[in-house]
Each structure stands twice: as C-alpha cells, then as structure tokens.
C-alpha cells in the first residue's frame, strides 16, 4: 500500500471496514474451497479484478458498509483458472465525498435489534479493478510474470496465518462481553440486597437475595465472570509478551485457540447472564435510571 493511504487511515481521515463473511459462506472452510459462489479475484495484467459472481457471494453484515471509503476484502485469488485460496485486498469503495466508485454496490441492511447504531450492509463488486499493490502479500504474493509465491503451501494453514492478526480483536470482544456481564450483575445483585419481598408473618420482609432461587440464578454468573476475567487477563499477558518480544502471532497457535474459545464462551455466557439479571430485577430492569 502507498504511504499516503496509511497516513489517511492512521489519522482517521478515511473510514474503512473489514469484508469477510458472505451471504452463503460464513467462515473459512467454505472460503478455502474452490466455490463458484465465492467472491473471486483474478489477475489481469498489472491489476486484480474483484468480482461477485452470484448472490451467494455477496459480502454481508459488513460494519461501516454505508460510509466506508476503503475495504479489506477477502476473496479467492484465481490465477490462470486455479484458486490459491482466500487473500485480502484493499479495495476503494467511496471517494472522499462519499460517492461509490463504479462497479461497487452497497445495500443497507436497515434496522437490526440492538444494533441500530451500526450501519451493517451488503457489498457487491462488478469487476472492480485494483492495482497489484493492493494485495496484502505477507503470506502470498504474485510476481510480475503471474507466478504465485507463498512461504505456506497449505491453503488452510495460510488462511489461518492471515487470521492470526485478529487475535487482539477477539480478546477485546471477550473483555467487552465481560464488562457488560459485570455491569448487569452489579445492578442485579445490589438491587437484590435492597428489594424486600415476602417473609415470616408479623416480621419484616426479607431481601430477595435471601430467596434461594434468586441466589441460585445470580451467584453462578458472578463466579463465571470472575473465572473468565482471570483467564482473559492471563491470555492478555501472553499476548503482550509475544508482542513485546516481537513474535509473530501466527506461531502462537495455543494462544489463538485460547482467545478464540474465550470469545465464543464469554459472549455466550453474556447472553444468559444478562437475561437472568433482567428477569431477577423485574420491571426495574427496563429503567435506564437503574444504571
């Protein structure tokens, strides 16, 4: 990429987004196959041609799709009719005034429950041409004579190496999920210590936290969030150590697996935890003032 692009992105002068998931293909096992429904990129002289061959290959649920200037687009790299697997290309989407470039179509996915502030959209490419330099070629490059070169021969392993860069972002999602859990539990447990309901005759009603069902609903979530916090901090320490020592994240397979598991488990637990917190606090859970 040209230095001027990096300066613009680093200074937030241009907005960008990450395009991987497709209408029909949600994750890498499908992207790695030679699928006619996958977004493809073919080599043409000194350019790459980005093309969406069918509806199933449309990029979907892309954050910032309705306002981004550039996109990091994953597409099958096709050379002389042969697929080299998915690679990442920097594709201009809009000019500085927000107008779409020729060949690019953006469709707003409209309202989504709980995500009204995110402009998720669908992106379609009709033979969009980008320079050779727009290929992110750390793990795979195309020589001027059209020959493909990569230090990693296996397509699946190569794609895993590309996704290693997402490790810090996955860990950030974990911490965000835990923060939401802690906030919900703080409100629910405090409320449960102040709210009184039922009790022995002629005596003061007991706090609802003393009811066994209330305790059994909230305390396991509290234990879970504490355990996940310590584990996530441990993963963060491992990540910091690798970064400070200049290690490539692609070589930290154990760390990648740990962080991927933490992201999935913490977000799943987050849903159940916040639902129990809402139900355990009754109508007050719907009041913004409770926060």
Q: In the chain, what are the domain boundaries?
A: 27-151, 161-286
Q: Rounded mean pLDDT of 205-232?
A: 91
- Residue 132 Cα to chain centre, angstroms: 27
Q: How far apart are CA 288 and CA 267, in angstroms?
A: 22
pLDDT at 260: 92
What counts of helices (H) and strands (E) characterise the chain? 6, 11
CATH class label, 161-286? mainly alpha
Sheet containing strand 59-62, edge to edge, reads 59-62, 121-125, 104-108
pLDDT grade for 12, boundaries at 50, 70 and 90: low
Buried/exposed 7-26: b ≥16 CB within 10 Å, e otherwise: ebbeeeebbbbbbbbbbebe
CB contact set of 158 (below 8 Å; sequence gap of 6+): 85, 139, 140, 150, 152
Report percent pLDDT > 70 for the chain: 81
27-151 matches 161-286 in fold:
no
CB contact set of 152 (below 8 Å; sequence gap of 6+): 139, 140, 158, 161
pLDDT tens-digit series, residues 90-104: 999 999 888 999 999
Q: What is the model's pTM?
A: 0.73
pLDDT grade for 145, boundaries at 50, 70 and 90: confident
Asked if pLDDT for residue 259 goes beyond 80, the answer is yes
Q: How far apart are CA 190 and CA 183, in angstroms?
A: 11
Q: Rounded mean pLDDT of 225-248?
A: 89
Mean pLDDT for the chain? 82
pLDDT grade for 6, boundaries at 50, 70 and 90: low
Asked if pLDDT for residue 182 goes beyond 90, the answer is yes
pLDDT grade for 175, boundaries at 50, 70 and 90: very high
Q: 19-28, 43-52, 256-265 — which one is most confidently predicted on average?
A: 256-265
Tokens representing 181?
């859990």
pLDDT grade for 17, boundaries at 50, 70 and 90: confident
CATH class label, 27-151? mainly beta
Q: Are strands 16-19 and 70-79 parallel, antiparallel or unpaired?
A: parallel
Cβ pair 48, 42 in contact under 8 A: yes
Specify the 3-state DSSP secondary structure of 274: helix
Buried/exposed 161-176: b ≥16 CB within 10 Å, e otherwise: bbbbebbeebbebbbe
């Amino acid at each position: 990429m040209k230095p001027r692009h990096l300066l613009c992105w680093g200074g937030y002068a241009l907005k960008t987004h990450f395009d991987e998931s497709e209408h029909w293909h949600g994750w890498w096992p499908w992207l790695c196959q030679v699928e006619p429904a996958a977004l493809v990129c073919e080599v043409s002289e000194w350019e790459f041609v980005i093309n969406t061959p069918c509806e199933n290959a449309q990029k979907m649920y892309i954050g910032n799709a309705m306002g981004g200037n550039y996109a990091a687009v994953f597409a099958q790299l096709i050379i002389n009719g042969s697929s080299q697997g998915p690679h990442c290309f920097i594709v201009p989407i809009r000019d500085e005034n927000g107008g779409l470039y020729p060949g690019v179509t953006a469709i707003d996915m409209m309202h989504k429950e709980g995500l009204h502030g995110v402009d998720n959209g669908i992106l379609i490419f009709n033979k969009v041409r980008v320079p050779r330099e727009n290929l992110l070629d750390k793990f795979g490059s195309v020589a001027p004579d059209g020959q493909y070169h990569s230090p990693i021969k296996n397509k699946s392993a190569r794609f895993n190496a590309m996704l290693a860069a997402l490790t810090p972002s996955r860990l950030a999602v974990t911490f965000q999920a835990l923060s939401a859990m802690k906030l919900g539990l703080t409100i629910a447990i405090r409320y449960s210590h102040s709210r009184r309901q039922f009790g022995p005759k002629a005596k003061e009603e007991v706090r609802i936290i003393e009811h066994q069902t209330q305790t059994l609903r909230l305390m396991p979530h509290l234990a879970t969030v504490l355990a996940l916090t310590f584990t996530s901090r441990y993963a963060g320490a491992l990540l910091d150590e690798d970064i400070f020592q200049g290690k490539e994240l692609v070589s930290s397979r154990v760390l990648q697996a740990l962080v991927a598991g933490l992201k999935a488990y913490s977000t799943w637990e987050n849903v159940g935890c916040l639902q129990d917190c809402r139900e355990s606090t009754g109508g007050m859970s719907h009041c913004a003032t409770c926060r």
